[in-house]
Amino acid sequence: MKKIKTAPFLPTEVEVNEISDTRAEVVAYPFENGYAVTLAHPLRRLLLGSSIGYAPISVKIEGAAHEFDSIRGMHEDIAVFIINLKSIRFRINEGLDRAVVNYSFKGPKEITAADLINEQVDVVNPETPLATLNEDGELSFTLEIAKGIGYVPSEDLRDEIDGSAIALDAFFTPVRKANYRIENVLVEDNPDYEKIVFEIETDGQISPVEAFSNALETMNRQLSVFSGVLNIDLESGRTVQGGAGNELKAFLVPVDTLGLSARSFNSLDRAGIKYLGELILMDESELKSIKNLGKKSLDEIQEVMAEHGYGPDFELDEPTRAALESKIAQLKE
């Protein structure tokens, strides 16, 4: 006989099996019947669609006017060269979102992805062939590499690159495979509980575990839009609209509407601070550490914050602080 429940069973076990640098299994259980696929399917889509990777988005080749041209002394046509280039999986060093790198080679030489490694960029498949030069061959090109998610066709990138460069289809996704299977698991003599087994493989730009963590973070950020939208009135037992969801609006006032002096606003703008809520999240020492923010500007900012009701004694409760941090991060992505 089934017992009456007031809440679904919460899974308690998670296992991570790192098979190699690029392959891993993530296992979680036990889930109520039907809950496993409810969670597994969107996570798989996020793994494939929102994992951050790097890809070349444009190339400017000296002596080549377009992708159907050729270079004297190079065996490959430009079209083949570009195909080889797009198969190289890059990483940008120092956490930058973009890198523009210049290369120059003289023949005879067989150029591989390993020859593109320098202080700015690294590659995860160094053995990949790129081009072959004869004795009289020379190849000079400028490559732009960007950080992104998913796939962006070259047509959508032409407005972002140098007009004399060739736009490339950008395959950012570092996840090669993201599959899952649902298995039954026994809980208290009940065989209807479920286990999720994720199989994840990446190209080496990021690890499978990192890709899975990113997918979970993305899911949490997407769901955060609902945080505080529905509050429960404990006395009446009814759900009421409003609450923290609407409170956040007061914190998301753009700093350029606060009436600050040009000196104060420019200091905040250079520091990447866009919203009043970012100032509210800072304590006084963090405010003072903003570059080029003098005492006069600091006093002005604190005075404006106090005028909006956020003086030195104002404190955010932890749920609101977490929701505000998440919302600001989402807006600034």
Does domain 13-51+175-226 fall under CATH 3.20.170.30? My reply is: no
* Answer CATH for 232-331 from 1.10.150.20, 1.10.150.120, 1.10.8.50, 3.40.50.300: 1.10.150.20
| Terminal CA-CA length for the chain | 51
Q: Given a cut of 60, is residue 263 above it in pLDDT? A: yes
Q: Find the mean pLDDT for residues 76-80.
A: 94
Where do the structural domains in the chain lie, given as residue ranges?
13-51+175-226, 53-171, 232-331
Q: Other CB atoms closer than 10 Å to residue 26's CB: what's the count?
A: 21
- Rg over alpha carbons for the chain, rounded to the nearest Å, is 26
Q: Whole-angstrom Cα distance, residue 297 to residue 300?
A: 5
Residue type, 250: A
196, β-bridge pairs: 28, 182
Report the half-sphere exposure of 144 (CA within 13 A, side-chain side). Answer: 21
Per-residue pLDDT tens digits for 181-194: 999 999 888 888 99
Nearest-angstrom CA–CA distance, 211 and 201: 9
Compute φ and ψ for 91, nearest 5 degrees: -135, 135
What is the CB neighbour count within 10 angstroms for residue 205?
Answer: 26
Give the sign of the dihedral formed by CA 153, CA 154, CA 158, CA 161. Answer: positive
> At how many degrees (to 10) do helices 318-331 and 208-223 cross?
110
pLDDT of residue 2: 65
pLDDT digits (tens, 9 = 90+) for 211-236: 999 899 888 878 776 655 544 444 44
Q: Where are the alpha helices (DSSP H) in 30-137?
A: 35-50, 78-86
Tokens 């989402």 -> residue: 330
Q: 39 is written with which tokens? A: 């969670």
Q: Is 203 exposed, middle or buried (0-12, 13-18, 19+ CB in 10 A)?
A: middle
Other C-beta atoms closer than 10 Å to the C-beta of 240 total 10
Fold of the domain spanning 53-171: RNA Polymerase Alpha Subunit; Chain A, domain 2 (2.170.120)
Query: Using one digit for the tens of pLDDT, what is the confidence trace for 151-169?
Result: 999 999 888 888 789 999 9
Q: What does the alpha-carbon distance between residue 206 and residue 55 come to, in Å, rounded to a whole number? A: 13
DSSP codes, 81-106 = HHHHHHT--EEEGGG-SEEEEEEEEE
Share above pLDDT 90 across residues of the chain, in percent, rounded to a whole number: 51
**Residue 13's Cα: distance from chain center in Å?**
27
Kind plus residue range of the DSSP H or E element containing 251? helix 244-251
